[in-house]
Amino acid sequence: MKLIFTLLFCFSFLLINAQQTKPICSKTASKFKKEKSNTLPINYIKETEKYDVTFYELDIVATNTNTNLKGIVKMTAIANENLDSVVFELFPSYTIKYILIDSDTAKYSWRNTGIHCKTNIKKGQTFTITTNYSGSSPDKTTNPLGGAGYTSEQSQTWKKHVSWTLSEPFSAYEWMPCKQSLKDKIDSVKIAITVPDSCMAGSNGTLQKVTSLPGNQKRFEWKHNNPIDYYLISFSVANYVDYSIYAHPKNADSILIQNYVYPNSLNYFKDLIDNTAKFIEYYSEIYTLYPFHKEKYGHCMAPISGGMEHQTMTTLGYFDNELVAHELAHQWWGDHVTCGSWSDIWLNEGFATYSEYLTLAKLFPGEEKNKLDGFHSSVLSQLNGSTWCKDSLNQNSIFSRRLVYDKGAAIIHTLRHIINNDSLFFKALQNYQTEFAFSTATAKDFKKSVENTTKIDLTPFFNEWYYGEGYPTYSAKIQKNIDNSFILMISQKTSAPSITPLFTTPIEIQVSRTNKSDTILRIPITSNNQKAEFPAEYKLKEVTNIDPNNFIVNQIEQFTTSLDTMKDNLFIYPNPTTDLLYIELKNPSNTTLKLISMDGKLILENSFTKEMQVDMRTQSPGNYLLILENEHSTYQQKITKN
């Protein structure tokens, strides 16, 4: 659709400004973020574990302008033991017309969000619970601990009304009768959505048929034939157009990419949508073939501040390379293999976030450096915090941007460094995807799987980086012995010493050498004060960088040569900084200052004798290298701009 220039400019301005924050998943920016979730009583949760769900059939009537729903939902399950009752969930704002156990009307009671049905089912018996219900879904006023399961709003940018579901982590019961258990994947689902004929309804799997109905309505029938977790079942309703393209992975048939987008947004987003095919082809190489290649991948637009990785059809607010890459990666990391508990959400979000970095490195080389610096700056903004989520009922903990997404991605880069063989690293990821295909796994499962492939004991890595807290601060210097051999001394202190007193990850030290080329030395770490000896022929001159490839979240206190006398004459503060950086010399001397970005660009060069202040307000957040030189020595230090 053609737009006049003024209107297009306004849309562009709104979209560009909306995307500058680059939210990763809608969960991190949700206005419905919950302090606590899962209101089902503990004894009812235990009751739900007495059966396994095998099939859902949803028949829903919805519109794009409100959250009113009518539905008949059939949940088929197998009893794990003899049952005199069955428990499932539905929010009590709905009216239930009837509940059937197979063909018999069930007597039931409703406690909180749990529905308790009397029955008589034998162990191993297959049974179906049919619930006929109607009403309006809750919002944050009627359900303060939720209210995001089913939403209806207008896109302020594109002026389109949309209704959509978003069930992660505990909100499926806000729009459908269900069992909310991560480890009980449903074998398959059928989803039929009846909507106004001006709308389209996107959902999981493949579109079986579209039927015109009386009263200006249409019925969209979708079928998904792969295991799926409860929170990944979804639908979205709006005035969409279908823009479909195909990916062509190696050694596989073409994969349909079916996109339901606002008609007036297609021209703006078309090129970004087309990039999805390249991403699928790349991930199919490094992770295994796209898991749902026999069905489709796709997107449904909705006015959210990011995306949600609904299986085979992501819901997102706009198209952006990093956002699309992140949600697509979830089809492997979260959908194909789902975290076995919300404490291990790193397996979903950490790997999807690291996939953004991998995508930039592969398809947009050069852009990945800022992405990695961003991960590190985020983690360094506080002294502690674990990627492992201790409180699995707290959504703020489950979806912590700093710890789960950013630190989660950063420590995967550290794991890659520890393995120190990219072919083996990606082989380990592929083996994990194969071993736990269409099921769930915990971090312990991942650890064991990677250890089996690499033959590396990853206990220190998990204890220090995943379960542990904080980060190391390094300093390094070179000393020359009487016999002209060299000692490289590396000191480490940690930001949370009572929890993680030492990080044993090997560290790379970049050094210059007299009459020889610079080199990077990989030093194993076993103590907070590490020494490495090198013979005279190494001709070590000075340390020029610590962790030059940013494999480790860290701060650098200093790195010097044995001739350095400047460190005792210096005050540099504050570091990290947000605005001004102050440098003071106790004893004045003619000193040259250089500020260099981590990609080697000279940002500032100046001279001073006593004190100097550097304005960092105009610099982007990240790490920089400060070099101070006088006639006697050189001093270098990493500076972090938050």
429: phi then psi, degrees, rounded to nearest 5: -65, -40
**Predicted pLDDT at 334:** 98
Residues 583 and 538 in one domain: no
Whether residue 436 is contained in a domain is answered as no
pLDDT of 26 strictly over 70 = no
Q: Which of 545, 562, 579 is at the close of a domain? A: 562
Residue (of 417, 411, 469, 471) closest to 443 by Cα position: 411
Q: Residue 569: pLDDT band by 50, 70, 90 thresholds?
A: confident
Residues 477 and 626 in one domain: no
DSSP string, 564-601: --SGGGEEEE-SSBSSEEEEEESS---EEEEEEETTS-
Q: Residue 496: pLDDT band by 50, 70, 90 thresholds?
A: very high
**Predicted pLDDT at 568:** 67
CATH code of the domain containing 557: 2.60.40.1840
Whether residue 399 is contained in a domain is answered as no
Q: Which of 506, 527, 562 is at the close of a domain? A: 562
Residues 556 and 578 in one domain: no
Looking at the 3D structure of the chain, how many domains does it have?
Answer: 3
The DSSP bridge pattern shows strands 161-165 and 150-154 to be antiparallel
User: For 364-399, what is each residue's pLDDT tens digit?
Assistant: 999 999 999 999 999 999 999 999 998 887 788 899
Among 111-115, 245-249, 400-404, the range scoring the smallest mean pLDDT is: 111-115
pLDDT mean across residues, the chain = 91
Q: What H or E segment, with its residue span, contains residue 62?
A: none
The token pair at 415 is: 């794991």
**Predicted pLDDT at 184:** 97
Whether residue 460 is contained in a domain is answered as no
Q: What H or E segment, with its residue span, contains residue 362?
A: helix 346-363
Average pLDDT over residues 573-590: 90
**Predicted pLDDT at 631:** 67
Q: Which of 529, 562, 595 is at the close of a domain? A: 562
Residues 520 and 638 in one domain: no
Residue (of 327, 325, 335, 329) closest to 308 by Cα position: 327
Buried/exposed code over 322-353 (b: 16+ C-beta within 10 A; e: otherwise): bbbbbbbbbbbbbbbbbbbebbbbbbbbbbbb
Which SS3 state, helix, strand or coil, does residue 455 take?
coil
Whether residue 67 is contained in a domain is answered as yes
pLDDT of 5 strictly over 70 = no
Residues 595 and 536 in one domain: no
Whether residue 537 is contained in a domain is answered as yes
Beta strand spans in 431-471 (E): 439-441
Query: In this structure, which long-range contacts are made by residues 34-37, counting pairs with CB atoms below 8 Å and at least 24 apart in sequence?
Result: 34/145, 34/146, 34/170, 34/394, 34/395, 34/396, 35/145, 35/394, 35/395, 35/396, 36/145, 36/393, 36/394, 37/145, 37/146, 37/169, 37/170, 37/393, 37/394, 37/395
Whole domain around residue 52: which residue ranges?
A: 5-277+291-319
How many angstroms separate the CA atoms of 466 and 426, rounded?
Answer: 20
**Predicted pLDDT at 566:** 66
pLDDT of 315 strictly over 50 = yes
pLDDT of 36 strictly over 50 = no
Among 206-215, 380-389, 477-486, the range scoring the smallest mean pLDDT is: 477-486
Residue (of 459, 547, 472, 540) closest to 503 by Cα position: 472
Tokens 């026999």 sit on residue: 294
The DSSP bridge pattern shows strands 95-101 and 104-105 to be antiparallel
Average pLDDT over residues 235-260: 96
Among 201-205, 232-236, 460-464, 635-639, the range scoring the smallest mean pLDDT is: 635-639
Q: Residue 16: pLDDT band by 50, 70, 90 thresholds?
A: very low
Residues 549 and 608 in one domain: no
Residues 61 and 133 in one domain: yes
Among 149-158, 286-295, 510-519, 584-593, the range scoring the smallest mean pLDDT is: 584-593
Residues 516 and 577 in one domain: no
DSSP string, 116-175: EEEEEE-TT-EEEEEEEEEEE---TTT-TT---SEEEEE-TTT--EEEEE--TTTTGGGT
> Where is pLDDT greater, at 525 or 252?
525
Whether residue 116 is contained in a domain is answered as yes
Among 216-220, 275-279, 633-637, the range scoring the smallest mean pLDDT is: 633-637
DSSP string, 379-430: HHTSS---SS-S-TT-HHHHT-IIIIIIHHHHHHHHHHHHHT-HHHHHHHHH
Q: Residue 632: pLDDT band by 50, 70, 90 thresholds?
A: low
**DSSP, res 363:** H
The token pair at 147 is: 């209210």
Whether residue 357 is contained in a domain is answered as no
365: phi then psi, degrees, rounded to nearest 5: -55, 135
Q: Residue 13: pLDDT band by 50, 70, 90 thresholds?
A: very low
How many angstroms separate the CA atoms of 500 and 376, rounded?
Answer: 18
In the chain, % of residues over pLDDT 90:
80
Residues 592 and 523 in one domain: no
**DSSP, res 228:** B
pLDDT of 12 strictly over 50 = no
Residues 188 and 307 in one domain: yes
Residues 265 and 127 in one domain: yes
**Predicted pLDDT at 182:** 95
Whether residue 326 is contained in a domain is answered as no
**Predicted pLDDT at 562:** 45
153: phi then psi, degrees, rounded to nearest 5: -150, 170
CATH code of the domain containing 629: 2.60.40.3080
Residues 129 and 240 in one domain: yes
Q: Which amino acid is at 543?
A: V
In the chain, % of residues over pLDDT 70:
91
Check if the beta carbon of residue 69 is closer than 8 Å to that of residue 116: no
CATH code of the domain containing 110: 2.60.40.1730
**Predicted pLDDT at 6:** 31
Q: What H or E segment, with its residue span, contains residue 289?
A: none
Task: Please state whether 485 falls in left (phi above 0), alpha (psi between -120 and 50) or beta.
Answer: beta
